[in-house]
């Protein structure tokens, strides 16, 4: 694979311009080229305790389908994260299934008999030791959240009006940006910071208020960011590998995209869900994310907001926070 090929590939071109490859000499690197050139020190290891490994039943061709989810660190949603580790360690998720796929919205999994109009059996009993969270916990309560955000992110310090971080230009919050590798929002007034519903983020299904969900029902975003769910439901993590196994599933024909009883055979079985740190050392996957506090991330975000690589003719001059995806990569020599 030669360099010109890579340049074209990373430009996310909507044709595949073989001819253009021969002469293309980009004056500006594409966002993915900036990431590829990041020094090792800019990558942060994700603790194995924060990795959830979900094995779905093999696909129609018999190929394995593994999904890896990164759980959120403090100060976000830690009660639900506690519950999710508890469910995994009780092997509670094993034998559940993907029960809902709603186009441009969410894929949801858990007990097919939990609050499902298509249920044919009784709900699975929940394990002991679950925390019951409150609605206030949808927002991380932090004194002077704006100062906290700025202290975390050098980009905010450098230019609090920088549109690349949607500090301006976000219809859903006063301020948006990144903390410790996660997209977050805050108000400019009251304290509190909350994670944002971007593509691939994982949340906790719940019943009507004041229910906040236990973590038995989980979903991931498979379309346009449903940011109206921010502060209305708990976000607990994101899919960092195998997203295509959840996003390309057949859509359900029932209300809200649930599979109907007639299409129950489309419910993808969940074989196992494990916390990576509980796996044998040789089987533990390892991942790292690009520090959102690094200069590489700043250059990456700037390049996304102002595309100058060869395919583009008119840079936007801004970007939605959900289009600035935090780079995550698998570490090959794990174990």
Q: Which of positions 109-128 make contact with a second copy (CB under 8 A)? A: 114-117
Q: Which of positions 82-111 make contact with a second copy (CB under 8 A)? A: 101, 103-106, 108
316 near a second copy, rule: CB under 8 A:
yes
Q: Which of positions 223-242 make contact with a second copy (CB under 8 A)? A: 223-233
- With respect to a second copy, which residue has the nearer C-beta, 48 or 166? 166
Nearest to 69 by CA among 87, 59, 60, 58: 87
Question: Strand order in 287-290's β-sheet?
Answer: 43-45, 287-290, 328-330
**Burial class (CB within 10 angstroms; exposed 0-12, middle 13-18, buried 19+) of 160:** middle
To the nearest whole angstrom, how small is the minimum distance from the Cβ of residue 238 to a second copy? 12
5 near a second copy, rule: CB under 8 A:
yes
- With respect to a second copy, which residue has the nearer C-beta, 190 or 335? 190
CB atoms within 10 A of CB 228: 10
279 near a second copy, rule: CB under 8 A:
no
To the nearest whole angstrom, how small is the minimum distance from the Cβ of residue 255 to a second copy? 4
To the nearest whole angstrom, how small is the minimum distance from the Cβ of residue 274 to a second copy? 24
312 near a second copy, rule: CB under 8 A:
yes
- Written as six digits, the tokens of 114 are 């939990």
The answer to whether the peptide bond before residue 75 is cis (omega within 30 degrees of 0) is yes
Binding residues for a second copy, total number by CB under 8 A: 84
To the nearest whole angstrom, how small is the minimum distance from the Cβ of residue 151 to a second copy? 24
14 near a second copy, rule: CB under 8 A:
yes
- Written as six digits, the tokens of 214 are 């236990």
Return the half-sphere exposure (C-beta side, CA atoms, 13 A cut-off) of residue 7: 20
Rounded distance between C-alpha atoms, residue 228 and residue 237, angstroms: 18
Rounded distance between C-alpha atoms, residue 307 and residue 105, angstroms: 28
Partner residues linked to 218 by β-bridges: 109, 204
Q: Which of positions 147-186 make contact with a second copy (CB under 8 A)? A: 163, 166, 168-172
Contact 26, 312 (CB under 8 A): no
- With respect to a second copy, which residue has the nearer C-beta, 48 or 221? 221
Q: Which of positions 236-275 make contact with a second copy (CB under 8 A)? A: 243-244, 247-251, 255-256, 258
Q: Which of positions 193-222 make contact with a second copy (CB under 8 A)? A: 198-200, 203, 205-209, 211, 213, 217, 219, 222
Residue in this structure with the two tokens 């936007």, named with its chain if needed: 316
17 near a second copy, rule: CB under 8 A:
yes
73 near a second copy, rule: CB under 8 A:
no
SS3 content of the chain, % helix, strand, coil (to 5): 25, 20, 50
Helical spans, DSSP H, in 280-332: 295-305
- With respect to a second copy, which residue has the nearer C-beta, 73 or 183? 183
- With respect to a second copy, which residue has the nearer C-beta, 163 or 284? 163
- With respect to a second copy, which residue has the nearer C-beta, 72 or 233? 233
64 near a second copy, rule: CB under 8 A:
no
Contact 48, 276 (CB under 8 A): yes
27 near a second copy, rule: CB under 8 A:
no
């Amino acid at each position: 694979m030669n360099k010109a090929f890579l340049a074209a590939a990373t430009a996310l071109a909507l044709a595949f311009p073989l001819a253009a490859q021969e002469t293309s000499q980009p004056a500006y690197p594409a966002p993915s080229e900036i990431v590829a050139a990041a020094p090792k020190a800019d990558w942060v290891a994700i603790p194995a305790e924060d990795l959830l490994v979900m094995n779905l039943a093999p696909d129609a061709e018999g190929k394995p389908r593994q999904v890896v989810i990164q759980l959120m660190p403090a100060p976000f949603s830690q009660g639900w994260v506690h519950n999710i580790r508890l469910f995994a360690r009780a092997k509670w998720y094993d034998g559940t299934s993907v029960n809902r796929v709603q186009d441009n919205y969410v894929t949801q999994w858990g007990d097919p008999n939990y609050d499902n109009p298509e249920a044919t059996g009784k709900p699975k009993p929940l394990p002991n030791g679950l925390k019951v969270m409150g609605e206030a916990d949808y927002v991380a309560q932090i004194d002077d959240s704006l100062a906290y955000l700025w202290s975390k992110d050098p980009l905010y310090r450098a230019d609090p009006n920088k549109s690349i971080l949607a500090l301006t230009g976000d219809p859903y919050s006063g301020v948006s940006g990144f903390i410790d590798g996660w997209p977050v929002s805050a108000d400019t007034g009251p304290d509190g910071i909350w994670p944002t519903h971007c593509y691939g983020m994982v949340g906790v299904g719940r019943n009507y208020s004041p229910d906040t969900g236990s973590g038995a029902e989980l979903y991931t975003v498979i379309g346009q960011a449903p940011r109206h769910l921010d502060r209305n439901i708990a976000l607990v993590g994101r899919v960092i590998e195998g997203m295509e196994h959840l996003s390309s599933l057949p859509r359900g024909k029932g209300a809200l995209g649930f599979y109907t009883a007639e299409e129950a055979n489309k419910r993808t079985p969940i074989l196992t869900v494990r916390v990576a740190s509980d796996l044998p050392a040789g089987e533990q996957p390892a991942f790292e994310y690009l520090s959102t506090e690094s200069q590489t991330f700043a250059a990456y975000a700037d390049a996304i907001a102002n595309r100058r690589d060869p395919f583009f003719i008119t840079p936007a001059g801004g970007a939605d926070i959900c289009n600035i995806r935090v780079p995550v990569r698998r570490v090959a020599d794990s174990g």
